[in-house]
Amino acid sequence: MELSDQIAQYLVSGLSTGAIYALIGIGFAIIYNTTEIINFAQGELVMLGGMFTLFFLNVCKLPLPLAIILAVAAATAAGILFERLTIRPLKSPTPLSLIIITIGGSILIRGIAMLVWGKDTHALPSFSGSEPLMIGSATILPQNLWIFGLTAIAIIGNKLFFQYSITGKAMRACAANRRAAGLVGIDVRRMVMFSFAISATLGSLAGIIVAPLTMTSYDVGIMLGLKGFCAAIIGGLSGGVGTVLGGLLLGILESLGAGLVSSGYKDAIAFIILLLILVIRPQGLFGRAQTERV
């Protein structure tokens, strides 16, 4: 086996994992940009996506496409509920209290999922077959193509929404300056809720499309959430291309690290690079430098 063939496989594998990190990362970025909250419960929404799909599929015996749509809807509702019950009633939110509340929320959601669905791991059927496809010398599963396709659609849809719809523009205004946005008549609280809804939708979608490959259980959200968070930071917490590139880069680094350097230290490699990026280019690899506000 040629080294170049191996590297081709590492790249393909890395890209498909990276696409998932990107999708989760964008969820982080959207909430951060409208509210300056890092939602540590984002990973749990990813988990909810997969678990709800299983629930609708196995317990309610619905066909897969319907189960997926309902699962995304249910997870989005959970995201909105979370915002309404914990973030909105806060009288004087500080970054710290928000971090603790979202961490508390993630523990709570995980706990409820564990009680309701148990601790077992479950497999979700592939969307279309499991015969591997060849791309040059590298192999890929049809599910990977679903991941790429749906990630691309989600990201483009997201971009269009923020660029052209009134709500999207209003949310961007909130991101730029919350008080000014409020003064011109934008309902800031509503926009915050929207941001939670959108990121829950994206997160749960990520959880669903990845479940046929990786299985799902009540505790898959922690690691996926952290990786998505990394992707967002590498991309400078941008809601668009930056985070996508950040996610893909993280995926490839992990895969190359595991294949060429050390599988045991591959996560450490990813985090060391993250630290370097933070220290050298805190605005993210692809972001522009911002002047610090006092």
Residue among 26, 29, 31, 38 that touches another protein (CB under 8 A): 38
Judged by CB under 8 A, does residue 255 bind another protein? yes
Does residue number 224 form part of the binding site for another protein (CB under 8 A)? yes
Give the whole-angstrom CA distance, residue 267 versus residue 99. 23
64 lies in the binding site for another protein (CB under 8 A): no
Question: Left (φ > 0), alpha (ψ -120 to 50) or beta: where does 9 sit?
Answer: alpha
Kindly tell me the sign of the dihedral angle through the C-alpha atoms of 46, 48, 53, 58. positive
Q: State which residue, 192 or 274, has the beta carbon closest to another protein.
A: 274
Whose Cβ is closer to another protein: residue 10's or residue 56's? 10
**Calpha distance 225→242 (Å, rounded):** 18
> Which one of 210, 231, 244, 249 is in contact with another protein (CB under 8 A)?
210
Q: Are strands 133-135 and 138-140 parallel, antiparallel or unpaired?
A: antiparallel
Of residues 117 through 146, those in contact with another protein by CB under 8 A are: 119-123, 130, 132, 139-141
Query: Pick from 97, 128, 165, 177: which binds another protein (CB under 8 A)?
Result: 97
**Coil, helix or strand at residue 5:** helix
| Closer Cβ to another protein, 70 or 259, answer by number | 259
- Among 135, 169, 182, 259, indicate the residue that binds another protein (CB under 8 A): 259
For 219, half-sphere exposure in the C-beta direction (CA atoms, 13 angstrom radius) is 7
Rounded CA-CA distance 110/66 in Å is 24
Q: Does 167 bind another protein (CB under 8 A)?
A: no
Residue 115 contacts another protein per CB under 8 A: yes
Rounded CA-CA distance 142/16 in Å is 11
> 85 to each of 81, 116, 235, how far by Cα in Å?
6, 21, 30
214 binds another protein (CB under 8 A): yes
Given 153, 156, 176, 275, the residue binding another protein (CB under 8 A): 275
List the one residue from 77, 161, 271, 287 that touches another protein (CB under 8 A): 271
Is 112 a binder of another protein (CB under 8 A)?
A: yes
Give the position of tokens 């699962």. 71
d(CA 46, CA 203): 5
Q: Which of 62, 64, 222, 285 binds another protein (CB under 8 A)?
A: 222
237: left (phi over 0), alpha (psi -120 to 50) or beta: left
Q: 2 to 31, contacts with another protein by CB under 8 A?
A: 3, 5-6, 9-10, 13-14, 16-17, 20
- The span of 61-69, 171-179, 219-227, 239-247 binding another protein (CB under 8 A) equals 219-227
CB 48, min distance to another protein, A: 15
Residue 182 tokens read as: 């409020």
**80: contact with another protein by CB under 8 A:** no
